[in-house]
Amino acid sequence: MDRRTGGIIGTIVSALLCGVPGIILACMGLIAVAGGQSPEILGDSAKWQSTMIGAVAFLIGGVVLILIPLIVGFFSLRKRPSAAPSVPPAATIAHAPPAAPVQPQAAPAPAQAATAAPAPAPQPKPASVPAAPPVAPPAPAGLDASVQVVYDRIMALNRPTAPYQIIDGKAQNVDLIAEWKIVDARWYEVFAKANLTKVFRIQMKLDPARREVRAQDQELNVSWKAGVPNLSFDASFFRGQKSSISFGTGYAFTENLAPGQVYKYKFNTNELKKPIQDAIASCGWTYKGVAFGKL
């Protein structure tokens, strides 16, 4: 049991054993003082004197007993000053011996002139030709070179067998838009089997200053009429960031590519975001989800 816990217990015990009786004695002293003011006692000086002596004794005893738990609590719960760290005396601190002076070595004696071979005549050095600086490839027209790399890497995710597509987003004042191919007649049957009631698209803008792709999700309602989907926004139109939630019945579409590459889709948000995020990360950029406001 540590010192603070022991102090708290000691204070509680002393309050019960001393503080409570002290309060009772003090109350009895006050009652005696009040009783001594009655005309019956005031008329008898001896009785009044003995009553006052008893009242004062009760008051003093009560005050002393009340002070005991206060004193115990003060000395047991106060914070003691921490001891200063001891510093070894100066005599015990070891000093490294001074390094021995380095003796200068004598220079080797020069060879005799009779035995020395004649030095060859210095040949003039050819003038050095400065290397031409590397020429950087020209940036594609309209886009910064690094932006073009990221743009092309994301667009390269398009393939005929994938149920999503990535298109240019200039018509909607963004750089790229990723969406499911639900409005493509060749994919009506696949999405109809999944019984999708909501889909979403991702709008993206490329920020070369911060080397990030700012992305925002848009949720759309899907209504089916004679097997043909109709996309619309409702009053509760969502714009922000969607977690990985599927809006279908759990029907899975399997995309078979090269041997060993199989993709299964349940049309949730992560299946569309993950390839885009991986493509952006491979370029050294960051995928930045925007939940509120404009891109």
Q: What is the pLDDT of residue 119?
A: 54
Q: What is the mean pLDDT of residues 234-240?
A: 51
pLDDT 10s digits, 99-118: 555 555 555 544 444 444 45
Which of 77, 96, 124 represents a domain boundary (last residue)? 77
User: Is residue 242 located within the same domain as residue 151?
Assistant: yes
DSSP for the chain, written as a single string: --HHHHHHHHHHHHIIIIIHHHHHHHHHHHHHHHHTTSHHHHT-HHHHHHHHHHHHHHHHHHHHHHHHHHHHHHHHHSPPPPPPPP---GGGS--PPPPPPPPPPPPPPPPPTTTSPPPPPPPPPPPPPPPPPPPPPPPPTTS-HHHHHHHHHHHTT--TTSSEEEEE-GGGTSSEEEEESTTSGGGHHHHHHHT-SEEEEEEEEEETTTTEEEEEEEEEEEEEETTEEEEE--TT--EE---S-B-S-S--EEEE-STT-EEEE--BHHHHHHHHHHHHHHTT-EEEE--SS--
- Tokens, residue 106: 């004598």
**150 and 62 both lie in a single domain:** no
Last residue of a domain, one of 44, 77, 110: 77
Looking at 110-114, 192-196, 277-281, 283-287, which range is the least confident one? 110-114
The closest alpha carbon to 207, from 155, 156, 283, belongs to 283
Full domain range(s) for residue 70: 3-77
Is residue 108 included in any domain, yes or no?
Answer: no
Tell me the pLDDT tens digit for each residue of 149-195. 999 999 999 999 999 999 999 999 999 999 999 888 888 888 888 87
Residues across the chain: 295
Q: Does the reported pTM lie above 0.75? A: no
**Same domain? 30 vs 152:** no
pLDDT at position 150, please? 95
**pLDDT value of residue 126:** 46
172 located within any domain: yes
> Do 153 and 249 reside in the same domain of the chain?
yes
Q: Residue 116: inside a domain, yes or no?
A: no
pLDDT for 129 = 39
Which of 77, 95, 124 lies at the terminal end of a domain, its last residue? 77
Say if 129 falls within a structural domain: no
Q: Across the chain, what does the average pLDDT equal? A: 75
Give the count of domains, the chain.
Answer: 2
pLDDT in tens, 197-220: 888 899 999 999 999 999 998 888
Q: Is residue 159 part of a domain?
A: yes
User: Are 181 and 260 within one domain?
Assistant: yes
Tell me which of 218 and 44 has the higher pLDDT: 218
